[in-house]
Structure 1
Amino acid sequence: MATELTNTQWIEVLQNSAITKEFDIAMFQALYSFEGHKAYASQIGLILGTHYGPLNLELGRYAKRIAEHYDINFTARSKEKYKFWDLFFNGWEDGIKFVWQLRPELVEALEATELTGDEHFPNELSATPETLFEGIKRTITVNAYERNVRAKQLCVQHWKAICSVCGFDFVRTYGELGNGFIHVHHLVPISKIGKSYQVDPINDLRPVCPNCHSMLHRVDPPLAIEELKNIVCQLSS
């Protein structure tokens, strides 16, 4: 009886909708986006709008669904209780909180199935190789909200898919084809965000059209939303 799945088996699991639910994918995507694919369990709960307890219960249900298809031996913790998260993560106490880290096989499977949740916006970064490297590094290390698709969804859900600068509405111009399409801009410049910074998708992000997004980043540091809005208003009046 195996204690872990191979990357091939994980690919099968991720692609089986009877086993893997949308919440499971969101959980993996959130954790994948942290540096080293590791974070506090409480951080993952915060991102997904829940707490450690319900998150752990969901992991148990997920593990049991997997066990119905694969011969898995869960790590025993105490009588009739098991560390279900052991199937998905390496876990340890770091002296502050409990850390989860995606297993390498699961990381490979997420990448192979293109389910990492990554979203890259080149116009968030400068053109020079040095700055580009630093930008990518910061984008990876900030936290899951920096690159996770759920952050964008929460931002757009709150502010709507309308440009915060010029008011452009993709649906009004392109119909259903433009439904939900918009870029998301960070109000706090990436260069000022540290590893411990927890991005709030409603207060720290704003939907902007690609043109305005590019204009915001024409200078360093980027223009504030209101600054660019004033420019647009002055030139259109």
Structure 2
Amino acid sequence: MTTTTPNISKELFVEILQDKDLVQPDDLLIFQTLYSLDKQEASATDLARIIGWSDKNGVVGKIVGLGKRILKKHDIKQTEREDGTRKLWDFFFTGYYKGTFFIYQLKPELKEALEECGLTENIKPISIQNSYLFVWNPNKWSQWTDPNNEPYIEKNIEELKNTGKVTLMWSCRSHKSIRPGDRAFLARVGSTPRGIFASGKVVSEPFLSQHWSGEDKDVPRVLIEFDTLLNPEKEPILTVDNLDKGNLSKQTWTPQSSGISIRPEVADELEEEWFEFLRTQNIRYSPFSETTDTTITYIEGSATQVTQTRYERNIYARRECLKHYGYSCSVCDFSFEKFYGSLGYKFINVHHLTQVATIKQEYKVNPIQDLRPVCPNCHSMLHKQNPPLTIDELKDIIKNG
């Protein structure tokens, strides 16, 4: 027989949080980390990875330990399972399963108590993004490059070149844990050259679709929006030989299944290696050309069309630029975080110093020399004329305006 879920008031949570004999620094770190995340929820595995602990057992152990200490001091009813064991995590969280992962979600009363105790003032929002490795075996699915059929990969590359993105459906073994927004890499396996030849992001929840062979069975898939796609038959790719070093050697790059998780300690090194590979290759489609997502709006009371273009760049290039220059505007020095608090944390545009139309196919981006952080207003003003203003020219306009 089970009891009802413990209902702890905000006032009692405030008392508990202020009791240093009960709540230890690591306990607060778990709560504050959850507070910083979208929807204030995460699995114990994700929490451990963000905090920097070796595995989820540290998170689970801290939660259970705190629950036991609270029970010794406060008379709070617990939830008991059918086998008589007690749930201690639901003092603090609601929870649900997402695939094989159990997700902790911060209770509203605890969230309010953290805020009232001043424990959230300097917390910056964090976005969880995992990376996954998908595979293509031309020995099993040759239609993509078979010269006797329509060369679909070339059509996909052409679409990417013309529109800045191409969205494809791919089977995914990790369908129980993958999320929209996760990073995706695509590797060729089965025949040489073997290695990574595409990258992008997951843009759908997993769904069931018919097996590629036409067999009467469904397999889990996701939609991937690719930002880079090379033809392994015509262009160099990042081969497995280049991935056999450092942390990269800890990952299997030619797995039997598609859509497997890339180890967190490997993902950053992979981004860097992929960036450096693309940067040094004279490929016919430059993944560093700005891809456009154009939104058309109308000014009230006028039929004038206003086109706003949003530019997205290589993840590694953007990150390296911002690591070097920070998140204040290079023109007006505006900081979204200083003005808006945590809402503006790490919000900024990245401006390319060289006009996109003049970039040739062999152009190679250097994140420090070629990119600068700018606020959206200054970014728009830089591109108000053709060719764009330089950053110094816009600074002079502001100074003399």
Moved more, 216-225 or 45-54: 216-225
Residue 112 of structure 1: how far off its partner (Å):
0.9
Instruction: State the AA in 1 paired with 2:350.
Output: P
**Unaligned 5+ residue runs, structure 2?**
130-179, 184-263, 273-318, 333-347, 353-365, 372-401
Q: Partners in 2 of 1:95 and 1:57 — Cα distance? A: 22
Amino acid at match of 1:82: R
Asked if the contact 1:216–1:225 (Cα under 8 Å) also holds between the matched residues in 2, the reply is no
SS in 2 for 1:226: helix
Q: 1:61 to 1:103 in 2, by over 3 A?
A: same
Largest Rg, 1 or 2: 2
Residue 71 of structure 1, aligned match among 72, 75, 93: 75
Partner of 1:142: 127
Structure 1 107/195 Cα, relative in aligned 2: closer, same or farther at 3 Å? farther
Matched-pair contact (CA < 8 Å) for 2:115–2:121: no
Deviates more, 1:101-110 or 1:35-44: 35-44
C-alpha distance in structure 1 between counterparts of 2:102 and 2:35, whole Å: 17
- Aligned-residue RMSD, C-alpha: 3.8
For the 8 Å contact 1:20–1:62, the answer to whether it is kept is yes
Residue number in structure 2 paired with 1:13 = 16
Gaps of 5+ in 1: 121-139, 145-193, 230-237
The residue matched to 1:214 in structure 2 has which SS? coil
Partner of 1:33: 36
Task: Give, in whole Å, the separation in 2 of the partners of 1:117 and 1:50.
Answer: 27
Shift of 1:41: 2.3
Contact conserved, 1:90 with 1:103, CA < 8 A, in 2?
A: yes
- Offset of residue 104 of structure 1: 0.9
Q: Which of residues 188, 204, 214 is equivalent to 2:328?
A: 214
Write the letter of the residue equivalent to 1:142: S
Distance 1:99 1:108, change over 3 A: same
Q: CA deviation at 1:26?
A: 0.6
- State the match for 2:215 in structure 1: none
Aligned length: 160
Other structure's SS at 1:3 match:
coil
- Between the aligned partners of 1:201 and 1:43, the Cα distance in structure 2 is 16
Q: 2:117 is matched by which residue type in structure 1?
A: T
After TM superposition, give the deviation of residue 66 of structure 1 in Å: 1.0
Distance verdict in 2 for CA 1:217–1:26, change over 3 Å: farther
Is the strand fraction higher in 1 or 2? 2
Q: Which residue of 2 is the match for residue 81 of structure 1?
A: 85
Distance verdict in 2 for CA 1:21–1:40, change over 3 Å: same
**Aligned-pair identity (%):** 25
* Aligned-partner residue type, residue 110 of structure 1: L
Q: CA deviation at 1:19?
A: 0.7
SS in 2 for 1:90: strand
Aligned partner of residue 92 in structure 1, secondary structure? strand
Call closer, same or farther: CA 1:63–1:118 in 2, change over 3 Å. same
Q: 2:122 and 2:59 mapped to 1: Cα distance? A: 22
* 2: CA distance, partners of 1:43 / 1:112: 26
CA gap 1:220/1:94 in 2 versus in 1, 3 angstroms? closer
Structure with the greater relative contact order (CA < 8 A, sep ≥ 6): 1 or 2? 1
Correspondent of 1:60 among 57, 64, 69: 64
- Asked if structure 2 preserves the Cα contact closer than 8 Å seen for 1:34 and 1:141, the reply is yes
For residues 195-234 of structure 1, what are the structure 2 equivalents within 5 Å? 195-196=181-182, 213-216=327-330, 220-221=349-350, 226-227=368-369
**Partner amino acid, structure 1, of 2:106:** L
Deviates more, 1:27-36 or 1:91-100: 91-100
How far has the Cα of 1:28 moved from its partner? 0.6
TM-score, normalised by the number of residues in structure 1: 0.54
1:3 maps to which of 3, 6, 9? 6
Amino acid at match of 1:7: K
User: In the TM superposition, what whole-angstrom CA distance separates every residue of 1:178-198 from its partner, at most 9, and x where no partner exists?
Assistant: xxxxxxxxxxxxxxxx75468
Return the TM-score normalized by structure 2: 0.34
What secondary structure does 2:66 align onto? Answer: helix
Separation in structure 2 between the aligned mates of residue 225 and residue 69 of structure 1, nearest angstrom: 55
